[in-house]
Chain A
Amino acid sequence: MQFDLLINAIIAGLMLGAFYAAVTAGISISFGMLDIVNIAHPGFIILGSYIAYIVSANFGIDPIVVAILALPVFYALGTGVYGIYFQSFEKRGQDALRGLAFFFGLLFVTEVTLILVFGVDYRTVDTVYAGGSLKLGIMEFPLRMLVPALVSIAMFAALQLYMSRTFIGRAVMAVSQDPQALELMAVDPTRIKRIAFSISMATCALAGAFLIVIQPVLPSSGREYIGRVFAICVLGGLGSLPGTLIAALLIGVIESIATTFYGPSWAPAVSFGLLLLTLAVRPSGLLGR
């Protein structure tokens, strides 16, 4: 029986990890590649959840479909936020710490705005696959977890292809290494950074929809993800998308095992503890440069 439990804990962990990968993808781009510490990222993910919630509750559209429709909106939002950030911090050469305070404020404002608009009740969505599950022998895949996990991996694959195959994707990789060299190639680093940041913000739409499919959402849910996403991002080696995916799966599995065998109230300490450990012992992460 223990073995059953363990297998299913690992499966649940892998699906959870795939979802975490979607949550972290944006941070890997903004923090890992662009050096923009977008600590407000989880706040925007919750915003994505609420948008998926409103549209899907009013029009009965599946939240993930809503998220795909909302991608351009979040892309535009990312362009806007980067514009402010660039004008007030990067251009003036202000230290990164003020930028950090800016994003911290932004996180807070997003959260409180959501509280003022929606109140502090849990919100959920109904999907056609919410109750179903797939069984293979002793293994059980609840569709509520499986669907977001699969879409998330598809999104990850698309991102990785985009980053490694297209001109802009490669330019994003380049801008993280040497913006000046990029300028010499007649590419505007600011434009590339704007595009990359907007992409990172667009992933929030999808990640938010996954989140609300998986579990009920509160305006303050984002906080739990701050440590988690940075833990995954740092563990994955800052800006390496494959590294992020591996780290996300790892943390998902460890957390799921901790939840199954020790109880859910210990789960948050796992990722944060791992983060502290990683930072203290190996700051360059698993697949670090």
Chain B
Amino acid sequence: MNGIHDMGGMQGFGRVQIEPDEALFHTPWESRAMAITVAMGASGQWNIDLSRSARESLPPPVYLSSSYYEIWIRGLEKLMLERGMVSHAELQTGSMQQAPIAIAHVLRKETVDAALKTGSPTHRPAASTAQFKVGDSVRARNLNPQGHTRLPRYVRGHLGTVQAVHGAHVFADQHASKPMPPFDDTAQWLYTVVFEGTELWGPGSDALLQVSVDAWESYLEAAAP
């Protein structure tokens, strides 16, 4: 979706505020929010793309006025509400009013280290040959899907060059298309596509700038250089 999260190239947010000797967490609740989100991510009730989708589809004013971990918590609450795992009343009070639903997995202390060390690799065997190779000219398609996508607006319609081929990876848009497991983990070829700064930002912009995105094959079409 063309959401507020898709910020590349927006203007007006001011200077980057750099905090010297920044603490890892600024309040006690931030560390708990991070850990709760990571632990619930292991429940198997959603995947990382559904999780991103939940955050980026928060109302734009809420997204912009929420701190980072607040966005995480709002996204998590939304995911759980959608799945009937919790109710609004329960979230407000913290007391259980309805029985829990069965979930695929509960992350235990004993399995935390292994889970973090393994992660969730997205690389998959390729089901087809790659349409593009390094050096090919490609154009980012002008796509505006309602659902989750990882093709940022600022490259859509622009001409770029394939700089790397990463093999086939679970296609984020499709991975977020089904709310409940089993998820659609269809893989597509993934490429690093580099754009000249002047192609993206027009004449007079930084001539020594290049910007790349990682783009799945269906985001791209062949183009004449």
Task: State whether these chains interact.
Answer: no
